[in-house]
Amino acid sequence: MANKKLAWLFVLTALLLALVASPALAQDDAQTMADDAYDVYLDGDLDGALEMLEEALALDTDNAYVLSTRGEIYRDIGEYELALDDLNASLELEETAFALASRGDVYVALDEFDKALDDLNTAINMEPEYPFALRVRGDLYRLLDEAELALDDLNAALELEPESAFALATRGDVYLSTGDLEQALSDFDAALELSPEYAFALRGRAEVYRQLEEYDEALLNVNAALELDPESAYGLETRGDIYLNLGEDEKAFDDLNAALELDPERSFALERRGELYRSMGEYELALDDLNAALEIDPERDYALRSRGDVYFQQGEYDAALDDLNAALEIFPESFFGLMVRGEVYLALEEYDSAVEDFDAALDIIPDDVYVLTQRAKAYIGLDDCESAQNDIDTILELDEENPDVEDLAAECSQSSK
């Protein structure tokens, strides 16, 4: 009898141990399956990975780790609503830095920046040396135009993971926004060594070369980027501007129109198309685009200069001066802005102001025949034929057959009588 009781005691103990161990084993098995599923996803089998995760959740329905893993995969493929469903469910069960950082990245993609920053701050407070969270917060600060904060996070992330193409390209874009073209180019080069088909880095490097006026290199990079991502409005407007600078107006129009079909609110594309219309003498169309660009971003000095010239060509001198003054406050060393404002002053017979602007323009490009011609006219207006003659002589040294010289000399001779 005692032996039977002892045997039943052993059986009951074994059953109790099995019941206790079963959830733990199921949890371990589910998590192992989730890790295997993520490896399968990285190998390119999305459907297989999702099936494995479904099986894992069948083993353990409320497994936060499995839910966050599936949420991360949905985030990576751009299924943001599905990602949020899984990540929210995971975080209700267990708050982890991984799930918070992933959800923060989803919020970045959805332009919900306040929510993103809350999640990323919490994740980094939990794990201060979490490279993914630092990279994503650095990218968020980039989007918020907080360059110093962005650099702090991206530098920290790259100290932990020096070969992150994402962090390098993002930091390159921050340097680009601050005008540090050399450092930007270095980061884009490094990112593309790690990931040669990284469209974001190719577009960024194209923009660096565009600003350096190395248009062949710029075109090479932006073409490669657009092969990978044909519907990038940023890539299309960049190439449109490159074509504009190369004098290929038809190609420029095609790209700028395509960019604006994708995103009608792109101020850069509107500005550049407005500039094309201005150069063609299509002033009303130019004004439509330039006005639209300046409604979006009133501080665009290029658009202000272009619109100022349109107003000048239309004889609206007060409006022209308003725009040119505003543009030159933003960028005082614009040759074009100084030249056009000088022309406005010349038309208004404000010769001293005209000479001052033409002087400043010639400090930037000393041998510009057109500006020398305009300054000579201003000197004639001031009855300063000696200075006008000096400009006439310089024009003849640069262009012996200049058609304006004879008229200028005649005006000067008549003015001195």
End-to-end CA separation in angstroms for the chain: 143
Percent of the chain clearing pLDDT 70 (strictly above)? 93
Average pLDDT over residues 82-102: 94
pLDDT of residue 411: 81
With contact defined as beta carbons under 8 Å apart, do 167 and 161 qualify? yes
Q: Which amino acid would we find at residue 409?
A: A
Mean pLDDT of the chain: 91
Rg (Cα) of the chain, in Å, rounded?
A: 32
Q: What is the DSSP string of 86-132?
A: HHHHHHHH---HHHHHHHHHHHHHTT-HHHHHHHHHHHHHH-TT-HH
Higher pLDDT, 394 or 12: 394
Task: Give the count of beta carbons closer than 10 Å to the beta carbon of residue 124.
Answer: 21
pLDDT interval class at 59 (50, 70, 90): confident
pLDDT of residue 412: 77
If 0-12 CB within 10 Å is exposed, 13-18 middle and 19+ buried, where does residue 217 land?
Answer: middle
Q: What is the pLDDT of residues 1-51, one digit of tens each?
A: 555 555 555 545 444 444 444 555 456 677 888 888 888 888 889 999 899
- Placement of tokens 């190719």 in the chain: 202
Q: Give residue 15's pLDDT.
A: 46
pTM for the predicted model, two decimal places:
0.82
Q: What is the structure's pLDDT at 8?
A: 53
Average pLDDT over residues 84-90: 94
Which residue type occupies 311?
Y
- pLDDT(62) > 90: no
Q: What is the arithmetic mean of pLDDT over 98-119?
A: 96
Site of tokens 């000088």 = 342
pLDDT digit string, tens, across residues 170-192: 999 999 999 999 999 999 999 99
Rounded CA-CA distance 169/205 in Å is: 9
Please tell me what DSSP assigns to residue 163.
T
Look at residue 225 and tell me whether its pLDDT is greater than 60: yes
Beta carbons of 232 and 226 less than 8 angstroms apart: yes
Is the separation of the CB atoms in 93 and 67 below 8 Å? yes
| CA–CA gap between residue 135 and residue 211 (Å, rounded) | 26
Q: Residues 347-379: pLDDT tens digits? A: 999 999 999 999 999 999 999 999 999 999 999
For residue range 259-279, list pLDDT tens digits in order.
Answer: 999 999 999 999 999 999 999
Give residue 58's pLDDT.
Answer: 83
Other CB atoms within 10 A of residue 351 CB: 19
